[in-house]
Amino acid sequence: MSRYIQHSNQPPTNLDAVAEDIKTALMVAVSQCYSQTQHFSGTVYTGLAGRVLMKYYLSSLPLPHEELNARTSLWSVQDLRAGGDRDIVLILESTPERTWKVHDASRIAFLETNVGVAALGLCRALEGSEDLLKHWERCAQLLQQALEHVYAEARSLGGGEDGCEILYGRAGFLYALLLVRKTVIRVRGGSDPALPPPLVQSAEGLVADDSIRAVVSDIVRCGEIGARRYATRLASAGSADNTAGPPLMWSWFDTRYLGAAHGVAGILQVLWSCPAAVIAPYLPRMLETVQWLLGRQDSTGNWPAEVSISLNQVQENELIQWCHGAPGMVILLSNILQWSRAHTQHAHVLDPALHETLATSLRAGTQLVYQHGLLRKGLGLCHGVAGSVYTLLAASDALDLDVDSGQDVGTQWQYLRWAIHLAHLATNHTLLVARGEMGVPDHPLSLYEGLAGMCCAWALVLCRISRLQLRSGDGDAVAGKRAVVMGSGHGMPGYDGLGWEGGVYRLN
């Protein structure tokens, strides 16, 4: 049996009806996510912290909260945030001190370690949450401890090429720091006098340029070690044309993965979310690595989950899900295109030839994700339909609109319509499961494996539908909403959508 459910490849045209179906499914699903407290572990990936992130995410989207709250009283912005805060406190208070620790720099990521809880708690303290203002020191202390492990391993030149991926390692920690940094910048703009000065100073120190630079530099150092080892393996494997590896390569448990969860695409994705001045020295190597990745795309538009020693080996690349295969690459390439458009003064923007190669590769990968994106494994972000929907939304941000001019580029919002189609098909998930066409994951309500991830995707799709309707209905209203239509400051929770400081994109 294939890994995906076939669909018509014909996006629906009645967006009002689609929006109503998605809204209904979303409200039922959010109630389910509230109703059970199973899988109480703290992690964002499959634990309670993931459903906390869902609540914060839903509270921050421009949804019709009042209308939704009138239908199911879970939806006021205040209640969503207060509910998330209570859950974070619950996790903090039930996590013993002996496990609230970081042991090495390869286990410090936002998604799969307590660093995720600490980062969320610190962000909410900075936003003035009374519940979290009582706990900010514990959150900051864990993040500081993780940062010190990075410093220590960098000084000792430890770590090798392992331990940098996004699910557990340094790139996932970098995501946590960037999330806190974004909050610090926003809060500083509002200059809330009620915040304790030690909290602000501590957070500013954690996310200062020097901290971000240290983590980035260590990730690149590990990537260079990995690239040298990979080049040596290629050379020893034989033929002369096998000797060209990328300048950056990492591994996870001795396997050189390419995708989002454990591989090169995920690590580069977070690097590209850092301040431009910090990554400037590394951009030539990052771009060269991307060019090498473009050369690994197969004729179907997919990428292998891991690299082989023989670059010419024909592989069958089965996996097309966020964690492995095309989706992670599509999100990365979409972000690079947007980054390049937002940094036109920068020395390392894409030259026209690479821009075209990258866009061609992106279009092929996106089409594959659309056709194969109704995944049988379920609804979550990691290897479920929500991950496919976010991939298509990222592609829409890059391909549906020329950001420099604000004009349509003639796609008729094709990529957004594909995202809407998959999101709509997922509203039938109960029926698909009953028919045996879709499975139920181990953590059915979780963010990365289950329903909470789909709730976030549905909610963002609803926002995009309303803006698409606004756009087609009233051209004048569009002029001032270009950035909102494009990014709205939201991507896949825990992974994408951090935006760029000073760029036109994704500023909330």
Per CB under 5 A, residues contacting Zn ion are: 323, 382-383
C-beta of 105 vs 319, nearer to Zn ion: 319
Nearer to Zn ion, 84 or 266 (CB): 266
Minimum Å gap between C-beta 435 and Zn ion is: 23
DSSP-derived secondary structure letter, 270: H
Identify the sign of the CA torsion 110, 115, 120, 126: negative
CB of 404 to Zn ion, least distance (A): 35
State the residue for tokens 């492990």.
149
- Closer Cβ to Zn ion, 342 or 451, answer by number: 451
C-beta of 159 vs 384, nearer to Zn ion: 384
Q: Given the complex with Zn ion, which of 140 and 445 has the nearer CB atom?
A: 445
Smallest gap from residue 307 Cβ to Zn ion (A): 19
Residue 285 corresponds to which tokens in the numbers above? 């190597």
Q: Is 382 annotated as a binding residue?
A: yes
Least distance to Zn ion from the beta carbon of 451, Å? Answer: 16
The SS3 of residue 296 is coil
Residues 6+ apart with CB under 8 A from 159: 105, 106, 153, 218, 222
DSSP string, 405-432: TTEE-SSTTHHHHHHHHHHHHGGGHHHH
Q: Nearest-5° angle of CA 184, CA 190, CA 195?
A: 65
- Run of H or E residues at 401: strand 401-402
Nearest to Zn ion of 390, 413 (CB atom): 390
The distance of closest approach from Cβ of residue 110 to Zn ion in the complex, given in angstroms and rounded to an integer, is 16
Report how far residue 252's alpha carbon sits from residue 118's, in angstroms, rounded to the nearest whole number.
24
318-323-325 Cα angle (round to 5)? 35
Instruction: Find out whether 164 is annotated in a ligand binding site.
Output: no
Between the alpha carbon of residue 490 and those of residues 297, 458, 486, 496, the distances in Å are 27, 13, 10, 8
Closest approach of Zn ion to the CB of residue 161, in Å: 22
Q: How many CB atoms are closer than 10 A to CB 29?
A: 22
Q: Nearer to Zn ion by C-beta: 378 or 487?
A: 378
- 506 Ramachandran zone, left/alpha/beta (phi>0; psi -120 to 50): left
- CB 261 to Zn ion: min, Å: 6
Two tokens, residue 355:
């821009």
Alpha carbons within 13 angstroms on the beta-carbon side of residue 363 total: 9
3-state secondary structure of 324: strand
d(CA 414, CA 210): 41
The least distance separating Zn ion from the CB of residue 28, rounded to whole angstroms, comes to 25
Q: Which is nearer to Zn ion, 111 or 336 (CB)?
A: 111
Q: Report whether 63 contacts 26 (CB < 8 A).
A: no
Residue 456 marked in a binding site: no
| Nearer of residues 267 and 382 to Zn ion, judged by Cβ | 382
How far does the chain reach from its first CA to its final CA, in angstroms? 43
Q: How far is the CB of 500 from Zn ion (least distance, A)?
A: 27
The rounded distance, in Å, linking the Cα atoms of 124 and 130 is 9
Binding residues for Zn(2+): 323, 382-383
Binding residues: 323, 382-383
